[in-house]
Structure 1
Amino acid sequence: MDLIRHLRFFVAVADKGHFGRAAADLEMTQPPLSQGLRRLEEYIGTPLVHRTQQGAVLTSAGAQLLPHARSLIDDSDRFLTEAVRVAGARAVVRWGACVALPDRLLTACVAALCAETDAAVTTESGTTVDLIDAVRSGKCDFAVVELPTLVDGVEAGPVTKIPRWVVVPKDHRSAHIERPRFPMLSDLAFAAPPRAGNPGAFDAVRDLLRERGLEVDTTSAPDDRAVLAAVAAGTHFGMSTTRPGSAPGVAWLHLAPAATALQVRLVWRTGADIDRYVAALDRVVFRERVR
């Protein structure tokens, strides 16, 4: 039997206290209403109303069960409303971008994804470690992550190198000579994202600095904004994908551009049907590559 429909009969009779008025409220005739209520009573094994010449009076069981009947009907209505909303909701493309990805590239990626689909595009910014976990778990469909890093459990695209500059305070001695060298930065601390966010990338940069004759203390700076702020304060140097000249108080050095470039790649869930999105992001990132 259609339990919710028959519960509506019961609630209508209880509210109106009369079969005729309840039938009119439900826009039906009285006989099928009365028959339906009897069928409900037989189904649950107890009378719900006393039928009198004056109308209908709830039995003790009816009075006790009426609140539960209302609750079930309300839940049914909410379920149907939500089902309609879900059925009509836009699909969602969920992607992630590592914090090292420059703003200009992040917004270009979003624009490229929006051009590929009518779905809503949501972006998660985070560390490479967190983004790969998000892709593995299905929280993100795909992500642009920084290398080097482990990509176990996900599919991975080709590596692209994006220009990244060494940034120093504008008044630092290295900013005013034609051929600066890494050892000239020894009086500055190094502002860099925390190692936990991507141990491989962190260690690779520290190894590069040591190879170039520079041992430094490192200060945690979670993203490009924090790096540039520390540099502008006059006490740190760092590496940034922000283009030269766009931050007062900062100077950009052309030091070992191939070695300092930001290496990124796209990762996605195994079996995910995202070829067109991967192609769209590859086109955007490829335009920024180190030439």
Structure 2
Amino acid sequence: MDLIRHLRFFVAVAEEGHFGEAAARLEMTQPPVSQGLRRLEKQLGLQLIRRTTRGAELTDAGRELLPRARLLVDDASRFIGEARRLHERTEVLRWGAASLTGSTVTATLAQRLAEVASGQETVSASTVNLVEQVSAGSLDLAVVEAPCVTGSLATGPVVVLKRSVVVPATHPVASADRPRLRQLAGLRFCHTPRSFNPPAHDQLIDRLRESGLDPQLYPVTAADQVLAAVAAGHAFALTVDRAPLAAVEAIRCLPIGRDATALRLRVVHREPGLGEVADVVTAALYRMGKAS
């Protein structure tokens, strides 16, 4: 006997006080509801509903068992709903990209993932936060800055993308014959806070210092903040998104210090079954790296 189905019959009849109305609520005809309730009573060895000329009323046993029946029916409904939600979630690839990775990189990866996933949800966050989300299972995989602390997560190879230096169009370095990083000394450096990924942050600052530039950090968390600060004339930044910025008159993108300023990315994931998807992302990053 399907206990939950028959308990639904019992709850419906008890709450409606009438077999016909209970059947309508269940979108059934009356005979199956009446027969199902009788089978439940037989199974339990108790009469739950007393049939009257006015409809149906609870017996003492029925009145005592009704709250428990409601809980079981509600729990079954919640269980089915949760299972459906989990099924739908498995059909959607949930992935993230490190903050300020760039719209070009994110869009290119999303386009490539659309070929191997029926749906996707994308978030942008700090590398530290992305690693935490993948570790907790709220994200399937993430593209993070390297180096970074990844714990027990599976990691792909590090892929290097060249970045341009974004400077104010009015700054002398924008028109220099041979621009150098050290010429940016009077500008603040727009970049995500160190807390977003201490290892990569420290490595980048060390490389800039080796190139003769000891920058003063101007912490930002969004691309519009970067553009505003650079266009205002008091900061520089790094970007992979050169083409979209070409039309912005207030800034210039310069290919200087390419090795020192390069963006290093890798894919992290937790589930072994996501290895092939991670390989797709890594391959797309490699293609972008060769083209940069």
Pick the TM interval, shorter chain.
0.7 to 0.9
Q: What one-letter code is carried by the residue in structure 1 that aligns with 2:30?
A: L
Match of 2:39 in 1: 36
Change over 3 Å in CA distance of 1:148–1:50 after alignment to 2: closer
Match of 1:26 in 2: 30
Q: CA deviation at 1:88?
A: 6.8
Q: TM-score, normalised by structure 2?
A: 0.80
Cα distance between partner residues in 1 of 2:19 and 2:174 = 91
Structure 2 gaps of 5+ residues are: none
Q: CA deviation at 1:134?
A: 2.3
Aligned length: 284
Change over 3 Å in CA distance of 1:71–1:235 after alignment to 2: same
Aligned partners of 2:180 and 2:257 also within 8 Å:
no
Match of 2:109 in 1: 109
1:259 aligns with 2:260: yes
Match of 1:233 in 2: 232
Cα distance between partner residues in 2 of 1:25 and 1:115 = 47
Cα distance between partner residues in 2 of 1:5 and 1:284 = 50
Match of 1:279 in 2: 279
Q: TM-score, normalised by structure 1?
A: 0.80
Aligned partners of 1:161 and 1:264 also within 8 Å:
yes
Aligned partners of 1:228 and 1:247 also within 8 Å:
no
Please give the per-residue CA displacement for 1:18-40, whole angstroms capped at 9, x wherever unaligned. 79x98x9433496x567435425
1:159 aligns with 2:158: yes
Change over 3 Å in CA distance of 1:219–1:63 after alignment to 2: same
Q: What one-letter code is carried by the residue in structure 2 that aligns with 1:186?
A: A
1:142 aligns with 2:141: yes
Q: CA deviation at 1:196?
A: 0.5
Q: What one-letter code is carried by the residue in structure 1 that aligns with 2:284?
A: V
Match of 2:197 in 1: 198
Q: What one-letter code is carried by the residue in structure 2 that aligns with 1:277?
A: V
Q: For 1:265, what is the secondary structure of its paired residue?
A: strand
Q: For 2:151, what is the secondary structure of its paired residue?
A: coil
Please give the per-residue CA displacement for 1:123-177, whole angstroms capped at 9, x wherever unaligned. 2211122222222232222222112223332222222211211221110111121
Aligned partners of 1:100 and 1:241 also within 8 Å:
no
Change over 3 Å in CA distance of 1:262–1:64 after alignment to 2: same
Q: CA deviation at 1:5?
A: 4.2
Change over 3 Å in CA distance of 1:77–1:166 after alignment to 2: closer
1:177 aligns with 2:172: no
Structure 1 gaps of 5+ residues are: none
Aligned partners of 1:149 and 1:200 also within 8 Å:
yes
- Matched-pair identity in %: 37
Match of 1:288 in 2: 288
Q: CA deviation at 1:284?
A: 1.8
Aligned partners of 2:17 and 2:57 also within 8 Å:
no
Cα distance between partner residues in 2 of 1:178 and 1:34 = 90
1:248 aligns with 2:249: yes
Kindly name which structure, 1 or 2, has the bigger radius of gyration based on alpha carbons. 1
Aligned partners of 1:224 and 1:242 also within 8 Å:
no
